[in-house]
Structure 1
């Protein structure tokens, strides 16, 4: 008998009744080492508002639970919950708290769903929220002491300055002006000890739990406990804020965690504070940028958080949204399998015109055993192998490959670009490996199970077949060998990849690319997604200025210089890693993305798993191009069933089905060029000879002046056959 059944056997949990039913725990006083005694009290939320404290902690492993006495009965709880109760109780008087491990009957799915639905109200109605990070360890007292010495108002103002400008150049510049703790390497032994303590503190698992996005944002008075030490949330944010580098970087190698390992925790803390800034900002603070958190914006970060139950990714984040922007997410219901929940959520976003959510979907973002449709975001936390081989492509705020969306933040639906949901006909349905689906799904009988066999139709503005894919550094590592590290020996493999690409481009290197760059300049810019080390868009002059120093660094015989020795001034005398290497790290080129070319000579950067015959495409409403893979149904219908299919609502487009692979970069097509060309020349996806001739004549009049009129430069006549709006079906 598990410990939740033990609770029921003692009749500790009676059914909750009322509009907002709630249990709270009266924690009896006592020292930390004494046995824990408490009383479970049934009440209504409105009756106890501002009279209890809500708790937040890491759920932890259910193994090796500890005993407490609740209502005179023995009760087992997780060790993390036990440690928290032992540390937060007062020595002399009772303390009324809400803790999910005790106050919710976790074995009652209906109650669990109901209580999760009102979680935001539970935390926002508390007089305060107590965050428990765990027992003291790794010099945590130094970290808490240092955080308490900071001026949080200063750093909250720095964050506010970034948020006020939304997604813009001004926001990027404001972030570059922020305070950074590791601007210079600590000189003294104490400074190094402190730095190690700060990094260890910020890497505690609580910071990355998905539920803390809600638990730490709802109440103004939120305090953080670590062993016997306590500090306000604002001070913890201040600590994390100054640990965030201004641009992509690494921390010194003596730290217990690398910056890449710590990044998700730092982003999580920033997300919490961003929500708090919106919720609790001062009345005198001007608001120019994103003033609400929409479901679309919040869920984009879903798979960077940790959760015990994959369904919590949706149920926890839906209430972080402000106003009524959570209405597009399903209500908490733990009877629904996580696979169905993820499909329903993605469908809600896409059919309401929030197509940027596709940037977190695709086979390159799914684990190999995924049964989800390719257009669905898998909100589960990606394991290290998936993250390493398929990281996100940087999405610059000036990019709008598929046209500027009327509302890029996802605050309101954009139905003009909405996807259409369809169901695969029976003879086209995917064969699902039963070993790959959850036990809940295998036994699930709900009608929504058919969603696994659904597809979506989206508007596509450009498509072209990939005819060449380059190499990555991983291709030069022997099978079974260690993954390359970010040092000069691993970077040297980049030269092998580049030589392979240049051999492919050999006959075109003296030519001109469609946007006016030379083909060689266009190739180099493609490798860094035309983006500098600070995230700024750059042109051919940038690579001309820095390419040679990067190659000299790669070919140097000194293998001691690594990524921590960045040449910020890029001087020829400095042997440290040159500036251009940082731009490569930002783009992921030659490590996690491959160079590729298409039938009509587009130069692209694509996910590592892309193959020849995949298709580079631009979807209307998506800021980044994507790669699609033609998909053949498992069976071919008979003539009779094919006729029936053609007369049904599942009628297919002529292009067939595709799987979404992932985001891509297409040089010269990143800033709305395809929409401008399509609007100006009226391109058709499958033009008649007369229609094609009309478009060509318009493009070539007066020696191609149309390209100058559109402000595109160069000459895009070569790619006109790839442009034209069509419906594409994603499975």
Structure 2
């Protein structure tokens, strides 16, 4: 590498430099010295990082980086060394589509409170403790390693470069020879944990499923005794399960950036490293699949239950996306809206990254969002929500909004989701995790997945916005008004208890016997927002908890709508997302519904063009505030929209929401 320009500049400026870690020119030969330079790598989720200057530190931070050309990226060459030697490395530029073989690192940056120094191109460079631990552990004694590490290969202080590099990160990970997943330093139980994960995979998956090539039959035929033996095994001690629990508690699993890193089809797959121990990523995902299957069919597997609850949803997402890729052999095409819906619970300290991190892996992200870390967060979110609405002519994204979630984003309109929040109710509609689309279908915005609800019929959202006030104007009509509101369920996840409370509340209402009977009849479907269907022959009748079945009735409950049979037990006896942080409502026309817990008497129910679900709105002086989406039993398939048109209404009202 040519350090001449930096050397001559340093001499002209009268500063000092360090002997370079490697390269063609030894700067000391030119009589040039430099004082230590400390950079704050910051966090992968911080919005603006700052250089940490110590007294006498080198202020010329750009000397580590040369400008990147279009379609270029940097690779880090990690020099060999022994454990007691300082870490030295240098950067090289390559075209994204034509670099030498390299490994891409997936990790959690960690806090920038305690940094460690390394040398990059001869300059002292500060990295977080977690990255430093990886470099120390991964470095070879006699051979160099070529890596892509975002904290070093991207100039994090150069916002335009950072914006541009984010857009091509997916290509970087897909072009890597392999993805290295660093979970952090090992603990005393890590060795046993990795051994037991391999034991489960080798003993069960390879010997039982792959060998017989009958995965469905083998999973269903295994007995509880075999399960107990398998998961006890020679290495299935308490220490092994403690170690597995520790592994799945690591923050890597829920970090927003690792979604694209873990699902990228690297040439040679992905490997998980924790301290000195390694395991193939696919093995962990496969074991997780086995665990999920066993828990759904057998009781008493306490350690499995504990293990499965730890970031299981994230592993399931990774597993399903990777499975779909390998089955189709092509890149998955997912809309940004779908990714946001599925991955909202992932973590990001920089709130912009809740969106920016998903752009490279979505088919439409590039055209919907401009990566710009200098924009305020509320503006980033508002622009994204509006782009999604107008691109797809759909109001589905409003299902992520609830009135109480603006938090510190005081300027956020009520129709814009606060994606920093993970505690709000889950949207009623559940889109397919893996879209079976061609790239053309996905890019066109046509929803080939299909709608779960269709309250607005075949209409499409026609919207406009006042940029000064951020008032969104939509077409639609006011259908009804909220008359009665149930007590709050608080933070309860117990669907059975919630159902009993709501039945008791319905029994207190003053209404005719026919009206009361109609409300009781609708309740089982309202309880789960009509989102599970299964028939009485699936053998699940005994799974219904007596407290719920006795009051609602097995036959009614067993007619609630279908999804995957594996989820039936949980949907009936465990927590159901539809009832979490929501209240029952009865409208003036006598409809029973479910909506956000902030609902109040006299709020209105609106049917808006392009919306799968009705919206509950609250009137202000010149606009409405969005309270949340609603499931209103009896109008979810377009019945209200059909009646509106049949009544001779030639046009829709303009509903203004702020």
Question: TM-score scaled by structure 1?
Answer: 0.66
- Helix, strand or coil: the match of 2:586? strand
Residue among 510, 514, 520 paired with 1:511: 514
Contact 2:607 2:641 in 1 (8 A): no
| Distance change (3 Å), C-alpha of 1:547 and 1:304 | closer
Q: Is residue 2:523 matched to residue 1:523?
A: yes
- Rounded Cα–Cα distance in structure 1 between residues aligned with 2:224 and 2:428: 25
- Rounded Cα–Cα distance in structure 1 between residues aligned with 2:209 and 2:349: 31
Contact 1:55 1:98 in 2 (8 A): yes
Contact 2:292 2:308 in 1 (8 A): no
Deviations 1:438-469 (A, max 9, x none): xxxxxxxxxxxx4xx21222233662110110
Q: Could you say which residue in structure 1 is the equivalent of 2:3?
A: none
- Helix, strand or coil: the match of 2:63? coil
- Rounded Cα–Cα distance in structure 2 between residues aligned with 1:606 and 1:29: 60
- Helix, strand or coil: the match of 1:333? coil
Residue among 228, 249, 255 paired with 1:203: 249
Q: Could you say which residue in structure 1 is the equivalent of 2:260?
A: 214
Contact 1:23 1:98 in 2 (8 A): yes
Pairwise CA distance, 1:213? 1.5
- Rounded Cα–Cα distance in structure 1 between residues aligned with 2:256 and 2:209: 22
Q: Is residue 2:3 matched to residue 1:3?
A: no
Q: Could you say which residue in structure 2 is the equivalent of 1:391?
A: 425
Q: Could you say which residue in structure 1 is the equivalent of 2:618?
A: 629
Residue among 316, 319, 335 paired with 1:294: 335
Contact 1:251 1:259 in 2 (8 A): no
Contact 1:364 1:607 in 2 (8 A): no
Pairwise CA distance, 1:109? 1.4
Pairwise CA distance, 1:661? 1.7
- Rounded Cα–Cα distance in structure 2 between residues aligned with 1:421 and 1:365: 24
Q: Could you say which residue in structure 2 is the equivalent of 1:585?
A: 575
Q: Could you say which residue in structure 2 is the equivalent of 1:704?
A: none
Deviations 1:528-587 (A, max 9, x none): 4345xxx32689xx9999999316999xxxxxxxxxxxxx9xxxxxxxxx9799357315
Q: Could you say which residue in structure 1 is the equivalent of 2:445?
A: 413
Q: Could you say which residue in structure 2 is the equivalent of 1:229?
A: 277
- Rounded Cα–Cα distance in structure 1 between residues aligned with 2:184 and 2:320: 24
Deviations 1:674-722 (A, max 9, x none): 345456x34539xxxxxxxxxxxxxxxxxxxxxxxxxxxxxxxxxxxxx
- Rounded Cα–Cα distance in structure 1 between residues aligned with 2:221 and 2:258: 25
Pairwise CA distance, 1:603? 0.6
- Rounded Cα–Cα distance in structure 2 between residues aligned with 1:138 and 1:486: 37
Q: Could you say which residue in structure 2 is the equivalent of 1:376?
A: 416
- Helix, strand or coil: the match of 2:575? helix
- Helix, strand or coil: the match of 2:114? coil
Residue among 77, 82, 85 paired with 1:26: 77
- Rounded Cα–Cα distance in structure 1 between residues aligned with 2:657 and 2:160: 35
Contact 1:202 1:240 in 2 (8 A): no
Q: Could you say which residue in structure 1 is the equivalent of 2:471?
A: 455
| Distance change (3 Å), C-alpha of 1:256 and 1:242 | closer
Pairwise CA distance, 1:36? 1.5
Contact 2:462 2:474 in 1 (8 A): yes
Pairwise CA distance, 1:46? 4.2
1:297-308 alignment to 2 at 5 Å?
297-308=338-349
Q: Could you say which residue in structure 2 is the equivalent of 1:327?
A: 366
- Rounded Cα–Cα distance in structure 1 between residues aligned with 2:225 and 2:585: 38
Pairwise CA distance, 1:349? 0.6
- Rounded Cα–Cα distance in structure 2 between residues aligned with 1:684 and 1:182: 66
| Distance change (3 Å), C-alpha of 1:203 and 1:410 | farther
Residue among 565, 587, 600 paired with 1:611: 600
Pairwise CA distance, 1:239? 2.7
Q: Could you say which residue in structure 1 is the equivalent of 2:127?
A: 77
Contact 2:381 2:418 in 1 (8 A): yes
Q: Is residue 2:649 matched to residue 1:684?
A: yes
Q: Could you say which residue in structure 2 is the equivalent of 1:268?
A: 314
Q: Could you say which residue in structure 2 is the equivalent of 1:130?
A: 180
Q: Which runs of 5+ in 2 are unaligned?
A: 1-36, 41-50, 433-438, 447-457, 552-557, 559-567
Q: Could you say which residue in structure 2 is the equivalent of 1:550?
A: 547
Contact 1:117 1:331 in 2 (8 A): no
Q: Which runs of 5+ in 1 are unaligned?
A: 163-172, 399-406, 425-449, 475-482, 555-567, 569-577, 634-656, 686-723
Q: Could you say which residue in structure 1 is the equivalent of 2:449?
A: none
Contact 1:155 1:241 in 2 (8 A): no
Contact 1:248 1:582 in 2 (8 A): no
Deviations 1:204-253 (A, max 9, x none): 11111111112223324222111111122212221333344699999989
Contact 2:180 2:272 in 1 (8 A): yes
Contact 2:64 2:120 in 1 (8 A): no
| Distance change (3 Å), C-alpha of 1:350 and 1:471 | same
Deviations 1:108-154 (A, max 9, x none): 21222222222222222222221111111373333333433427799
The answer to which of 366-375 and 310-319 deviates more is 366-375
Total equivalences in the alignment: 559
- Rounded Cα–Cα distance in structure 2 between residues aligned with 1:629 and 1:180: 55
Q: Could you say which residue in structure 2 is the equivalent of 1:90?
A: 140
Contact 1:461 1:725 in 2 (8 A): yes
Q: Could you say which residue in structure 2 is the equivalent of 1:404?
A: none
Pairwise CA distance, 1:360? 1.3
Q: Could you say which residue in structure 2 is the equivalent of 1:651?
A: none
Q: Could you say which residue in structure 2 is the equivalent of 1:242?
A: 290
Contact 1:196 1:255 in 2 (8 A): no
Question: TM-score scaled by structure 2?
Answer: 0.73
| Distance change (3 Å), C-alpha of 1:368 and 1:117 | closer
- Rounded Cα–Cα distance in structure 2 between residues aligned with 1:266 and 1:579: 17
Pairwise CA distance, 1:193? 5.0
| Distance change (3 Å), C-alpha of 1:394 and 1:245 | farther
- Rounded Cα–Cα distance in structure 2 between residues aligned with 1:682 and 1:545: 47
- Helix, strand or coil: the match of 1:30? coil
| Distance change (3 Å), C-alpha of 1:381 and 1:268 | farther
Q: Could you say which residue in structure 2 is the equivalent of 1:465?
A: 481
- Rounded Cα–Cα distance in structure 2 between residues aligned with 1:611 and 1:455: 22
- Rounded Cα–Cα distance in structure 2 between residues aligned with 1:579 and 1:256: 17
- Rounded Cα–Cα distance in structure 2 between residues aligned with 1:19 and 1:659: 45
| Distance change (3 Å), C-alpha of 1:605 and 1:547 | farther
- Rounded Cα–Cα distance in structure 2 between residues aligned with 1:370 and 1:155: 56
Q: Could you say which residue in structure 2 is the equivalent of 1:16?
A: 67
Contact 1:530 1:538 in 2 (8 A): no
The answer to which of 176-185 and 462-471 deviates more is 176-185
Q: Is residue 2:657 matched to residue 1:730?
A: yes
- Rounded Cα–Cα distance in structure 2 between residues aligned with 1:249 and 1:368: 44
Q: Could you say which residue in structure 1 is the equivalent of 2:454?
A: none
1:110-259 alignment to 2 at 5 Å?
110-137=160-187, 139-149=189-199, 150=201, 190=236, 194-218=240-264, 219-220=266-267, 221-244=269-292
- Rounded Cα–Cα distance in structure 1 between residues aligned with 2:59 and 2:289: 45
| Distance change (3 Å), C-alpha of 1:44 and 1:80 | same
Deviations 1:251-293 (A, max 9, x none): 989769968963xx3333333344434544455xxx9xx9621
Contact 1:200 1:257 in 2 (8 A): no
- Rounded Cα–Cα distance in structure 1 between residues aligned with 2:627 and 2:240: 44
Q: CA RMSD in A?
A: 4.5
